[in-house]
Amino acid sequence: MNVGQGIKMAFSSIWANKMRSMLTMLGIIIGVTAVIALVALGKGTTKQVTEQVQGLGSTLLTVTITGRGSATTLDYDDAITLTDIEGISSAAPVNTQNATVKFGRDSVSVNIIGTNSSYLDVQSYALASGRFIGQIDLDLKQKVAVIGSATAEELFGLDDPVGQYVLINGIRHKIVGLLAEKGDSSAGSNDELVIVPLSTAERVFRSLGVRTIYVQVDSEEQMDSVSSRLEQELASHFRGNTNSYRLFSQQDLLATVTSVSDTLTVALGGIAAISLIVGGIGIMNIMLVSVTERTREIGIRKAIGARRRDILLQFLIEAIVLSGSGGLLGIAFGYGVSQLVSRTMSMDVVYSLDVTLLAVGFSIAIGILFGIFPANKAARLKPIEALRFD
């Protein structure tokens, strides 16, 4: 018997027991579907987060001041001196507070960011109208504000808020600029904020100094050297206490996010693959039942000249066809489920040809592995015993 005849006989046997065959393939279908869908969604999430992190800039360094003793902040002047380091184009010290912003009867609780004029470029924002805060606003402690698009929509609807006055912590501020929409990131919305001069924030909130400094480096090639110089400067300022500050780049954050996401994807894919093994056990079980039911058929075939390897090949091909068909159906369902979840939850999906081929190959391997024992049992039946009437 050749392989073609074996495949034809396998499909005939499967078709003769459609319901049983479908239930047998169900474990393989579920396993492959889960592997394809989970890996696609996992890779899509990784891509989405990666794009968000890269959107913040690959040459951005973030300095977080944790402090030493009672000194938990850094003076603005000390923070600005960091720009004297070669390779740093600009720095935006930040004093962040949460407060209620009111306009008429409407109010919203948002982050108030006290900073300087470099914040616009360092954080890759753009203006929709008006202007950004300038150095003169910091020098004169002007009560001016630049508002995010989401906050502006909540307070002013579709009207341009530039020129209007809002109350921040009960103090009147004039809106001089409106930020263009930036969208969400892994840290939350980038449009729900109000930006004021750092000196104004210090006065309004009675909170001196900064805890975060965003540093823009001239090029990626200078990231390592600038990081080393920054650590030297900060260590000098805090007298060698390296626990007083944290320094990380977007590249570090991206590497961490990618590593965690890849680990979760592999873990989810591994868990899903367990169902493939369960499906393989189902195939072995049903093939053993099939051997018992078809004992007389095996005896007749051997009596008319079928060799042991012919019987072995026949049942092995049936197991492979069952698992392979389940794998192909699982791919179709996997693509469909991932697309459904993507559209329902607004998630990106990234399909991997390697994972798809691996899932199909694994399902076929499961068929071979769990089909050998039943096939061997069928092949070892003796014609006399197979044809014996009870």
Contact 45, 347 (CB under 8 A): yes
Q: Other CB atoms closer than 10 Å to residue 188's CB: what's the count?
A: 10
pLDDT at 131: 95
pLDDT band, very low/low/confident/very high, at 179 (cuts 50, 70, 90): very high
Residues in Cβ contact with 19 at an 8 Å cutoff, skipping those fewer than 6 apart:
none
Residues in Cβ contact with 286 at an 8 Å cutoff, skipping those fewer than 6 apart:
20, 21, 24, 322
Higher pLDDT, 372 or 191: 191
**Encoding tokens for residue 256?**
């961490």
Q: Which of 16-20, 22-26, 172-176 reaches the highest mean pLDDT?
A: 172-176
Angle between helices 250-293 and 353-379 (to 10 degrees): 20
Domain extent listing, the chain: 3-52+255-387, 60-218
Contact 99, 109 (CB under 8 A): yes
Higher pLDDT, 27 or 16: 27
Q: How far apart are CA 132 and CA 126, in angstroms?
A: 9
Q: How far apart are CA 196 and CA 213, in angstroms?
A: 16
**Encoding tokens for residue 69?**
């003793």
**For 66, which DSSP code?**
-
pLDDT digits (tens, 9 = 90+) for 209-226: 888 889 888 887 888 888
Q: Is 147 helix (H, G, I), strand (E, B) or coil?
A: strand
Predicted TM-score (pTM) of this structure: 0.59
Which residue intervals of the chain are DSSP H helices?
Answer: 3-16, 18-55, 76-80, 119-122, 135-139, 149-156, 198-205, 223-237, 250-293, 295-303, 308-345, 353-379, 383-387
Q: Is 32 helix (H, G, I), strand (E, B) or coil?
A: helix
Higher pLDDT, 69 or 147: 147
Contact 334, 32 (CB under 8 A): yes
Sign of CA dihedral 209, 211, 216, 219: positive
What value does the mean pLDDT take over residues 362-388? 72
Q: Which of 87-91, 170-174, 186-190, 274-278 reaches the highest mean pLDDT?
A: 170-174
Question: 188 forms bridges with which residues in the sheet?
Answer: 185
**Encoding tokens for residue 43?**
């890779």
Q: How far apart are CA 32 and CA 388, in angstroms?
A: 42
**Encoding tokens for residue 170?**
């009960």
Task: Name the nearest CA neighbour of 227 among 202, 252, 190, 258.
Answer: 252
pLDDT band, very low/low/confident/very high, at 268 (cuts 50, 70, 90): low
Contact 378, 315 (CB under 8 A): yes
Measured CA distances, 97 to 6, 83, 169, 182 (Å): 74, 24, 10, 21
**Encoding tokens for residue 26?**
């169900």
What value does the mean pLDDT take over residues 75-82? 82
Q: How far apart are CA 174 and CA 143, in angstroms?
A: 6
Q: Is 81 helix (H, G, I), strand (E, B) or coil?
A: helix
pLDDT digits (tens, 9 = 90+) for 317-359: 777 888 888 888 888 998 888 888 888 877 788 887 877 887 7
Q: Which of 13-17, 56-60, 157-161 reaches the highest mean pLDDT?
A: 157-161
Percentage of the chain beyond pLDDT 70 is 82
Question: 108 forms bridges with which residues in the sheet?
Answer: 101
Q: How far apart are CA 174 and CA 187, in angstroms?
A: 28
pLDDT at 149: 93
Q: What's the first-to-final CA gap in the chain, in angstroms?
A: 30
Measured CA distances, 344 to 265, 309, 336 (Å): 20, 51, 12
Name the helix (H) or strand (E) containing 213: strand 212-217
Contact 77, 60 (CB under 8 A): no
pLDDT digits (tens, 9 = 90+) for 185-218: 655 678 999 999 999 999 999 888 888 889 888 8
Query: In the predicted model, is pLDDT for residue 389 greater than 50?
Result: no
